Amino acid sequence: MSVSRRGFLQGLGMGRTAHASAFLAARGHEEYVAEAMQGRQGGRGMRPQLPPGVEAIRISSNENPLGPGKAAIDAILGKFPEANRYPFNSTPLDADLEILIAKLNNAKRESVVLGVGSQELLKNAARVFLSPTRHLVIPSPTYGDPAGFAQHQLKVTVKTAPVDPKTLKTDLGALLPLVKGAGLVYLCNPNNPTATVNSAKDVSDFIAEVRKTSPTTGILIDEAYCDYVTDKSFSTAFPVALATPNVVVTRTMSKAYGMAGVRIGYAVGQAETIRKMARYRMPYNVNTFGVAAAVASLKDPQHIKDEAVRNTAVREFTLKALADLGYTSTDSQANFIFTDIGKTMTAAAFRDGCAAKGVMVGRDFPPLEKTWARISIGTMEEMQKATDVFRSVLKPATTTSSGKGQ
C-alpha cells in the first residue's frame, strides 16, 4: 500500500511539514558524547537531569536548528512509496547526484564520490593514504575523527601542530615540517572547533609546498562549514583538488543543508584519486531519501543563501552578547563560536552550569579544554534564551573584548 505524505506525517504525530524538518535533522554523535560525559559526571545516566519543566536548548553539535529546506523535505516524503526499492531502482539515482555535483563544480562524474555524510569519506581517504609507515598530519585542535580512526583502527602515527596561539587559525607553517613522508595531511577549513578559516591563497600555497616536500602525500580538505563563511579571502579548494593529484575536498549535507540525520556527503578530486577512494565505498552507502533530498537541495541555492544570512545574524548577536560580558571569541566563520571563558571559570564549570539550566554546549576540545568553550548557533530565539543563561552562569570578565579574534 502506498504511503502518502499526509499519512506519513500523521503516523509521526506531526501535522505539518515544518515539524518533519526537526525529525529528519536528528542530533549528532558529538552531542551524544557531550551528554554522556555530563550524565556520568552527574551520576544520572546518559543525559543530564534537567530541572522540571525546562526544555533543553541543544547547541552542542553544530547542527542546523531548522533542519532541511522545504524542497528537501518534499523530496524525502515523495520517495516513501519507493522505500521498497533499492537505490539503483529508484529515481533519482546516486549517479544523478554525482552528475549534478560534477556539473555544479565544472568537473566530470569520475571526479565525484558519495559518502554517508563526510565521515565515511574521511575514513576512506585515510585508508587510501595512510599506512604504518606513513603518518597523519593534523592541526590541534581540529575535528577528531580522522585522528581517532588513524590511531585506533589503522594503528597509524598522528603528528600534530598547534593552531596559531593568537588567532587560533590553523598554522599551516607549523604543519609543513611534519609532512615529509606523511601519508595524509588533514585540514578542516573552517576549522572545528576554533571556527576560524584560512584563506584560499594560503591553502593553495600550502598544498604546493606539501607537493614539493612530499609529492606522494595526500591532502584532505574538509569544507563541512564552507556555506557559512563570510570572509572574502576564502573560496573552495575544489579547483585545486581537480587540478592536483592526491588532493581531496569533502563536503557534507549535515550542516547548512540541515540533513545530519539523513547522512549524505561527497568528495571531489582528480579521477584517479577518487577512484582509489571509491574502492572502499560501502555498497548501497547512500539511500533513496538522502539522494532525492540532496538533488532537491542543490537545485535550491537560494535556501542555502538564506540560511547563511540567518546564521550570520544569530552568530553576530551571540558574539556581541559574550563580548559585552568581556569574553573573547575567535573570528567565527562557521555555525558555531569558540569563546575563551577561562578568565573566571573553567570550561567544564561553564558547560555544567549551562546544562543545569537546560542549555547544552559543546564537549571538551583538548588541548584548549580548560578555558575555551564551543557554542553552536541555534535559532535567534534559542540564542536569546541561551545568552540569558550565559549571563547567569558566567561572571563578568574584568577586561572587555570586541568579540572577534584576540
Q: The domain spanning residue 21 has which CATH number?
A: 3.90.1150.10
Same domain, 26 and 100: no
Structural domain for 51, as ranges: 16-69+302-393
The answer to whether position 6 is within a domain reads no
Same domain, 76 and 126: yes
Q: What is the pLDDT of residue 344?
A: 86
Q: 168 with 188: CB under 8 angstroms?
A: no
Q: How far is the C-alpha of 346 from the C-alpha of 348, rounded, in Å?
A: 5
The answer to whether position 402 is within a domain reads no
Q: How far is the C-alpha of 395 from the C-alpha of 295, rounded, in Å?
A: 47
Rounded (10°) CA dihedral 348, 353, 355, 361: -50
The answer to whether position 79 is within a domain reads yes
Q: 66 with 373: CB under 8 angstroms?
A: no
Same domain, 311 and 368: yes
Same domain, 116 and 251: yes
Same domain, 139 and 279: yes
Domain boundary among 299, 320, 350: 299
Q: 179 with 157: CB under 8 angstroms?
A: no
Domain boundary among 299, 321, 350: 299
The answer to whether position 225 is within a domain reads yes
**Count of beta carbons in the 10 Å neighbourhood of residue 46:** 11
Q: What is the pLDDT of residue 15?
A: 43
What's the number of domains the chain is made of?
A: 2
Same domain, 111 and 44: no
Q: How far is the C-alpha of 267 from the C-alpha of 262, rounded, in Å?
A: 17
Same domain, 242 and 353: no
The answer to whether position 7 is within a domain reads no
The answer to whether position 137 is within a domain reads yes
Same domain, 294 and 322: no
The answer to whether position 46 is within a domain reads yes
Same domain, 284 and 334: no
Q: What is the pLDDT of residue 46?
A: 39
Same domain, 327 and 272: no
Q: What is the pLDDT of residue 8?
A: 45
Same domain, 236 and 202: yes
The answer to whether position 9 is within a domain reads no
Beta-sheet pairing, 336-340 with 265-269: unpaired
SS3 of 142-166: the string is CCCHHHHHHHHCCCCCEEEEECCCC
Local confidence pLDDT in tens for the 406 residues of the chain:
344 444 444 444 444 444 444 444 443 444 444 444 444 333 333 345 565 666 799 999 999 999 999 999 999 999 999 888 888 888 899 999 999 999 999 999 999 999 999 999 999 999 999 999 999 999 999 999 999 999 999 999 999 999 999 999 999 999 999 999 999 999 999 999 999 999 999 999 999 999 999 999 999 999 999 999 999 999 999 999 999 999 999 999 999 999 999 999 999 999 999 999 999 999 889 999 999 999 999 999 999 999 999 999 999 999 999 999 999 999 999 999 999 999 889 999 999 999 999 999 988 999 999 999 999 999 999 999 999 999 999 977 754 444 444 3
Q: What is the pLDDT of residue 89?
A: 84
Domain boundary among 282, 299, 316: 299
Q: What is the pLDDT of residue 396?
A: 73
Q: What is the pLDDT of residue 402?
A: 42
CATH number at residue 146: 3.40.640.10
Same domain, 117 and 163: yes
Name the strand (E) or helix (H) holding 340.
Answer: strand 336-340
